[in-house]
Structure 1
Amino acid sequence: MPTEPGPTELNPMQLRRRRALRLAWGTALCLAVSYGIGMPIPFLAPVLAVLLLAMRTQALPLKAAPALALLVMLSCGIGLLLIPLLRHAPLSGVLLVGVGLYCVFRYALRGGNGLLANLLVIGLTMIAAAGTSDFTLALSVVEALAKGMLLAVLSTAVAHALFPEPANAPSPPAPPFPSEQDVGWIALRATLIVMPAFLLAVIAPDRFMPLIMKSVSLGQQAGETRARHASRELIGSTLLAGVLAILVWSALSLFVHLWMFFLWVLLFTLWQGRRLYAAVATRKSPAYWVSCLTTMLILLGQSVADSAGGQDVYRAFAIRMALFLAVSLYASGMLIWIDGRRSKAQTT
């Protein structure tokens, strides 16, 4: 006779729901603490928490937090080293950034550590772009990333304590790695997706820094070998993230308070997390939902900053959303163009 699952055994649907709850609580808790203690660039910490929770089903040990913060500073140091080259030999600096991005994307596509790849891409783009206009700004971004990583590790540890992973739970299926002949093409199109946002951020880092984060997310989401399917997901995740950010902001405006921000983000992250872990049936890939969630957090974080700075939040959101959609359309076109070039190269 079949036995009932024990306290450490969950059926597949219960396990998916628990993972969705862990993602929601870890992200919302990280966001509340980040804004509550006044972290620099406060939306970075919850974005990092999403990446940690989505990529791992087991908690990172707390002793790994200082090591990860050191890893952030070392990987971002690459961007600091590129600043003099970008200032005095801009063409060589931009070409070096492009080559670096291509190598990092190849490393990730071959099964390399996803967190390290993310940090390296951030170092090559955000830090280098910030430092071209103001070295102090680049150092402040490195500080924000290091502190955000520490907070993200602590928040994910609390989320794992609240919703522990059963010892015998199967890991989520890993996405299939592309063939060796596809790796170069996919890394190339991911690099071409990120580079325009990087160039805009070099011109005006204070305005286009969030655009780099969005383009990095799109570049990683473009790992799909089916170009047209990936193209639709790129645009769809951006549009849905914008709609969800509008809904959260509208709900928050009814009663503006940090804990209401926490509760609304918890609710909307849970809605996306249930689809990410297939607790609710969906045709979208996990990368779609991770990109949607991180984009929603970036949009909300920038809107909070606009509100605190006394700017017109709705106008700034409309401009930012238009830029995000423009980057998504560009990424979509780049996917289809590179795929066409690859098909011609393979047939000749």
Structure 2
Amino acid sequence: MLEMIAAPPPQEEVSPALPLAARRCYRLAFCTSLALTLCYGFDIGIPFVAPVLAVLVAAVPAPPPGARAAFGLVLFMAVALGVGMLIGPLLQQAPFTALLVIALGLFFSNRLALAPGKALPATLLALGVTAIPAADIAGSAVASALLEALVLGMAVAIFCLWLVYPLFPEDSHAARPAPPLPGIAPDEENWLSLRATLIVLPAFAFTLTNPTTNLPFLVKSILLGREASELKLRDAGVELVGSTLLGGLCAVLVWWCLGFAVELWFFGAWILLVSLIIAAGCYQVFRNRFTPGFWSNTLMNMLILLGAAVQDSVVGNDVYQAFTVRMALFLLVAVYALVAIHLLERLSRRFLRRKASLRDRLSLLRNKRG
């Protein structure tokens, strides 16, 4: 029920003029822009949440979830966030116990993300066990508002994908579920999950110092942890730091362009254009050496930074100062994730060497006794 790949719609045999990669680009860009426009137009919760979730939903090269699957996904999200509401009071009364529960929840969500087709539910679970308890520190009303914004944002993202998909569908052969990938060894799954958990926990602790201001930073760290669990060491620098820098640059460009006309339709149009360019890199419309994860994280970074900047302008904060601080924090957590991956991998290799050495010694002792 929680799988993102649903049964194909009745009319699947289409031969559109656009190539498949171009259709995927337009689908991702229009879904993201439409979600942003609807949320800002109707003032739904925290408006930048829906377009970020739209990227997660629309980036999957498959048909949208059916009604049952969509209801199951939203219900799962509500339950995961509800668990966070229960952890919130515990975090204030028994902090150590709550941190252990949060660490276990993050570890489980990272394990879940490694299973085929479970990346989105895993991300929602990670948000539930971290963002909601952090918001509860600022007040139960803030946590309730965030929960409502996330659930409504997911509903809006799926609704936008339903509207956009018939215009830019998959091919009939491409819409079928891909064969499962070779499984990862259980020991490696545990290690990757632990590595991602250790990346998110310090960012969560930092968010507790000022939850209302630092929540975008926590969302960024969760996305980084999810990305880090799938990265190889040699690609980590470009993927983590590069996507953060490019997302910040795109946010600056869009913000500067908005100065020509502060209108919702203009905002939506710029997001559509930039999303289309980023999606073209994601689906290799123009050849590049970056992975789809690099491009999708660039787009999500841009949306988070822009959404926070819009909120700053509404409440009268200095947008440029707040953006500089936020961007510095984003880069800091990206560099921390990179350093943590290198250190943890070094420790892992040293542990494996010692384990192999001990195994050889035990084998020699058995042979001598034999």
TM-score by length of 2: 0.87
What's the CA shift string for 1:291-341, capped at 9, x where partnerless?
Answer: 111110000101111111111111110010001000001001011111111
Q: 2:235 aligns with which of 229, 248, 256?
A: 229
State which of 326, 329, 336 in structure 2 corresponds to 1:330. Answer: 336
1:61 aligned partner, one-letter code: G
Residue 64 of structure 1 deviates from its aligned partner by 4.4
Aligned to 1:82: 87
The one-letter amino acid paired with 1:81 is L
Counterpart residue number, 1:153: 158
1:310 matched to 2:316: yes
Q: Which residue of 2 aligns with 1:3?
A: none
Alpha-carbon shift at residue 61 of structure 1 (Å): 2.3
Q: CA deviation at 1:183?
A: 1.4
State the 1:10 CA deviation: 6.5
Q: Indicate the residue corresponding to 1:164 in structure 2.
A: 169
Which deviates further from its counterpart, 162-171 or 30-39?
162-171
* Aligned mate of 1:123, from 128, 139, 147: 128
The aligned residue for residue 293 of structure 1 is 299
- SS for the counterpart of 2:288 is coil
In the alignment, structure 1 residue 104 sits paired with structure 2 residue 104: no
Q: Distance in 1 between matches of 2:309 and 2:283?
A: 28
C-alpha offsets along residues 255-295 of structure 1, whole Å, 9 cap, x if unaligned? Answer: 11101111100010011101111222111111111111111
Number of the residue aligned with 1:17: 22
Aligned partner (choices 200, 205, 208) of residue 202 of structure 1: 208
TM-superposed CA distance for 1:55, in Å, is 2.5
Bigger Cα Rg:
2
Match of residue 8 from structure 1: 14
Specify the alignment match of 2:350 in structure 1.
Answer: 344
- Distance (Å, rounded) in 2 between the aligned partners of 1:302 and 1:175: 37
Shifted more, 223-232 versus 128-137: the winner is 223-232
Identical aligned pairs, as a percentage? 39
Post-superposition Cα deviations, 1:66-97, rounded to whole Å, max 9, x if no partner, equal 44332221110111111122111101111211
Cα distance, 1:313–1:231 mapped onto 2, change above 3 Å: same
Where 1:203 maps in the other structure, the secondary structure is coil
User: Measured at CA, do residues 41 and 175 of structure 1 come closer, stay the same or move farther in structure 2, by a change above 3 Å?
Assistant: farther
Give the counterpart letter for 2:193 in structure 1.
A
Deviations 1:214-253 (A, max 9, x none): 0011011112352131133100000000000001111111
Alpha-carbon distance in 2 for matches of 1:246, 1:36 = 22
CA gap 1:310/1:172 in 2 versus in 1, 3 angstroms: farther
Question: Which stretch of structure 1 is more off in the superposition, 204-213 or 106-115?
Answer: 106-115
One-letter code aligned to 1:232: V
| Amino acid in structure 2 at the alignment position of 1:37 | F
Q: Which residue does the alignment assign to 1:143?
A: 148
- SS of 1:254's partner is coil
What whole-Å deviation, never above 9, does each CA across 1:9-68 have from its counterpart, x for those lacking one?
469x81011101100001001100110000110000111111011135102224544443
CA distance in structure 1 between the aligned counterparts of 2:13 and 2:70, rounded to whole angstroms: 30
Residue in structure 1 matching 2:327, options 321, 331, 339: 321
- Structure 1 unmatched ranges of 5 or more: 1-5
In structure 1, the residue matched to 2:363 is none
> Are residue 284 (structure 1) and residue 287 (structure 2) matched?
no
Give the match for residue 274 of structure 1. Answer: 280
Indicate the RMSD between aligned Cα atoms, in angstroms.
2.0
**Contact 2:275–2:299 (CA<8 Å) still a contact in 1?**
yes
Tell me how far apart the structure 1 counterparts of residues 339 and 261 of structure 2 sit (CA, whole Å).
Answer: 41
Q: If the length of structure 1 is used for normalisation, what is the TM-score? A: 0.93
Alignment of 1:43-62 (within 5 A): 43-62=48-67
Tell me the SS of whatever aligns to 2:192.
Answer: helix
Aligned length: 342
Letter in 2 for 1:286: P
